Structure 1
Amino acid sequence: MGGLGIGTILITILVIFLLVMFFTFIPVGLWVTAFFSGVRIKLSNLVGMRLRRVVPSRIVNPLIKATKAGLDLDISELEAHYLAGGNINTLVDALIAAQRANIPLVFERAAAIDLAGRNVLEAVQVSVNPKVIETPNISAVAQDGIEVIVKARVTVRANIDRLVGGAGEETIIARVGEGIVTTVGSSGSYKGVLENPDNISKVVLDKGLDSGTAFEILSIDIADVDVARNIGAKLQADQAAADKKIAEAKASERRAMALAREQEMKAQVVEMKAKVVEAESQVPLALSEALKSGKLGVMDYYNMKNVMADTDMRESIARVDEKSKADDDKDKINN
């Protein structure tokens, strides 16, 4: 009897263990929930998910939600999208939202958008409720040289067909900024920009800036326009300063050349004076030689000395007269 009791206990424990393993490995509760929700799933499919290391609840619960919303989805497609790294719950929510908004969105398109790294649910919501993108302060200069700071608000709607491969918000902001700079730059005066800021919106909107992007631009509204610096005057001032520096450099060059020329002339004068002194030092010798050889008489020598003395006297008188005249002119100026 004792051996029979132990055997019964062991069998009971084994049965309990097998039941626990069965209900752990096979999500019977999830299968029951799906069955009463109108989703027909085989237990073998759930077991296969376990073997493929797929969490069954992440597939079955979104499938139940889609079935209740009236969508006909294949569980194998959902599992394949999950294994590819997609977000099943967000995908199903996006398909439901698109169906409610009468937006033609099939499973393959939604799965491609999700795998491309975009939030497919947010894309559907932006397609239903347009989004406002605010640009940073954009600096532009009119033709009169006045800088204008412009800020714009761009209303966009998601384009489901271009979400895969289409450019994002950064491209929209960059294109709008380029359009604003071009439009302001073509304006003759900043006053025209301040008086008619809507002209910027019209010109920029007509450029088709949403081409190749994941959005459709609905409107571009100029939120703020401020007048900044006088770029033209600053550039002219900088140019004038640069011209002044160039002129000063050229003047310095001319002064240096003139100074070098003056030094050269002074050197030539000193050289000439040295030659004159040297020549004058030879005069007494020449006179002595002329007297000895009889080429110059004594009377001729004295006559020459008289002429030289007369010349020196006249030069001294002329210097005195010039000095007196200069003093008189100075006294006149002082008086």
Structure 2
Amino acid sequence: MDQVSGSSIGVFLIAAIIIIVLAIFLTFVPVMLWISALAAGVRVSIFTLVGMRLRRVTPRKVIAPLIKAEKAGLKLNTNLLESHYLAGGNVDRVVDALVAAHRANMELSFERCAAIDLAGRNVLEAVQMSVNPKVIETPFTAGVAIDGIEVKAKARITVRANIDRLVGGAGEETVIARVGEGIVSTIGSSETHSKVLENPDMISQTVLKKGLDAGTAFEILSIDIADVDIGKNIGAHLQTEQAEADKNIAQAKAEERRAMAVAQEQEMKARVEEMRAKVVEAEAEVPQAIAQALKDGNIGVMDYMNYNNIKADTDMRDAVGHINQNDEDEPDPES
């Protein structure tokens, strides 16, 4: 009995080990993916799939696009797809772009497509845009005509991707900026805003002649003006601002002149006060000088008396003059 139980346990352990080994084998070796590839007509060996595992490449990321390419009639191999995967590219998107280009009868090699993908461009979107052009709408761009009236215009740009210039070519932002610059230049060269309103097509015609798609990843097919609107009277606004600025400058200069006049007046008053102080100081020295002259015998008593008489006569004349001046200033009651 014990012998039978021991043999049953041994069989169970062997079966468990076999199951574990098979699970590890199937996990490491994608047998189901290999069978799917063979069923789709893609000849790939099981050792190739194992090698992908060893090179840290997900086999499904390579084999599934390879099956897609084979069904579309494209001749690719695992080495090309695996190298692009290891370079950090999107293998599935590259194959989709090649299939789309093949169906549209476009000449596009795998190397070119892989280079575009590695450059950060969406190669599938570029191929689709080459077949079906894209419409880019610009925001309202304002320009000022020569008569000073602001004109706002919005344009729709129909572009087609240029596969040959996708690597290193400028993007949509550059195209929009160049078209906006052309709109501003065309409006600014118009004599009046009414000419722009009457014939908005001259904006698109002028902009198209500039070759704005040079150096970009697109080919401009057409530029259509979607909307035109009138903005502010910039000329009048600038004239008003200039007049206000001139007025402020004039006021500032007048204030400067007034301040200078006040300063000069204050300076004159200071000088007058200084002169008055000197006169008072000189008058204070006169009695001392007379006393010293009397003491030294330079003048006599009669000279001093004559000086006082002359001074008194002068004071009297000044007083009479002030009285007459006041009488002339008072209004006549009879009048």
Same-fold call, TM > 0.5? yes
Aligned to 1:161: 164
CA distance in 1, matches of 2:249, 2:63: 81
Counterpart of 2:90? 87
Q: Which residue of 2 aligns with 1:49?
A: 52
**Partner amino acid for 1:156?**
V
Deviation, 1:72, is 0.4
Deviates more, 1:165-174 or 1:261-270: 261-270
Alignment correspondent of 1:201: 204
Match of 2:189 among 186, 199, 206: 186
State the alpha-carbon separation in 1 of the partners of residues 125 and 173 from structure 2.
Answer: 17
**Conserved? CA contact 1:291–1:297, under 8 Å:** no
- Quick one: which amino acid aligns to residue 320 of structure 1? D
* 1:163-217 C-alpha deviation (Å, 9 max, x unpaired): 1111111111121222222222222222222222211111112111111111111
**Which secondary structure does the structure 1 equivalent of 2:327 belong to?**
helix
The CA distance in 1 between the partners of 2:221 and 2:200, in whole Å, is: 18
- Structure 1 unaligned spans of 5+: none
Q: Judging changes above 3 Å, is the alpha-carbon distance between structure 1 residues 317 and 56 closer, same or farther for their aligned structure 2 residues? A: closer
- Please point out which of 30, 35, 43 is paired with 1:32: 35
2:153 aligned partner: 150
**Match 1:265 to one of 268, 277, 281:** 268
Q: 1:310 to 1:110 in 2, by over 3 A?
A: closer
SS state of the match for residue 221, structure 1? strand
> Which amino acid in structure 1 is aligned with residue 176 of structure 2?
I
Give the one of 232, 249, 256 matched to 2:252. Answer: 249
Once residues 242 and 297 of structure 1 are traced to their aligned partners in structure 2, the CA distance between those partners, rounded to angstroms, is 72
Separation in structure 2 between the aligned mates of residue 125 and residue 311 of structure 1, nearest angstrom: 113
Q: Is residue 241 of structure 2 the alignment partner of residue 238 of structure 1?
A: yes
Q: Which residue of 1 aligns with 2:74?
A: 71
Alpha-carbon distance change, 323 to 291 in structure 1, aligned in 2, over 3 angstroms: farther
- Output one character per residue of 1:51-75: Cα deviation in whole Å (capped at 9) or x when no partner: 2232222211211111111100111
How far apart are the structure 2 equivalents of 1:248 and 1:18? 98
Deviations 1:106-146 (A, max 9, x none): 10011111111111111111111111111122222222322
Q: 1:225 to 1:301 in 2, by over 3 A?
A: same
Alpha-carbon distance between aligned partners in 2 of 1:150 and 1:29, rounded to the nearest angstrom: 60
Distance 1:322 1:291, change over 3 A: farther
Deviation string, structure 1 residues 245-269 (Cα, Å, up to 9, x no partner): 2212221222222223333334444
TM-score, normalised by the number of residues in structure 2:
0.82
Could you say which residue in structure 2 is the equivalent of 1:215?
Answer: 218
Q: Judging changes above 3 Å, is the alpha-carbon distance between structure 1 residues 89 and 319 closer, same or farther for their aligned structure 2 residues?
A: same
Secondary structure of the structure 1 residue equivalent to 2:43: coil
Equivalent residues of 1:85, 1:115 under 8 A apart: yes
Q: Secondary structure at the match of 1:143?
A: coil
Q: Which moved more, 1:224-233 or 1:101-110?
A: 224-233
**Stretch deviating more after TM superposition (87-96 or 174-183):** 174-183
Is contact 1:152–1:221 with CA below 8 Å preserved after alignment? yes
Distance 1:270 1:324, change over 3 A: farther
Q: What percentage of aligned pairs have identical amino acids?
A: 60
CA distance in 1, matches of 2:168, 2:323: 105
Letter in 2 for 1:250: K
Say yes or no: does 1:115 pair with 2:118: yes
Cα–Cα, structure 1 residues 268 and 60, in superposed 2: closer, same or farther, change >3 Å?
A: closer
Structure 2 Cα separation of the partners of residues 117 and 297 of structure 1: 119
Distance 1:208 1:97 in 2: 29
Q: Distance in 2 between matches of 1:187 and 1:227?
A: 14
TM-score (norm 1): 0.82
> Unmatched 5+ residue regions in structure 2?
none
CA RMSD of aligned residues (A): 3.5
Matched, 1:99 2:110: no
Residue number in structure 2 paired with 1:135: 138
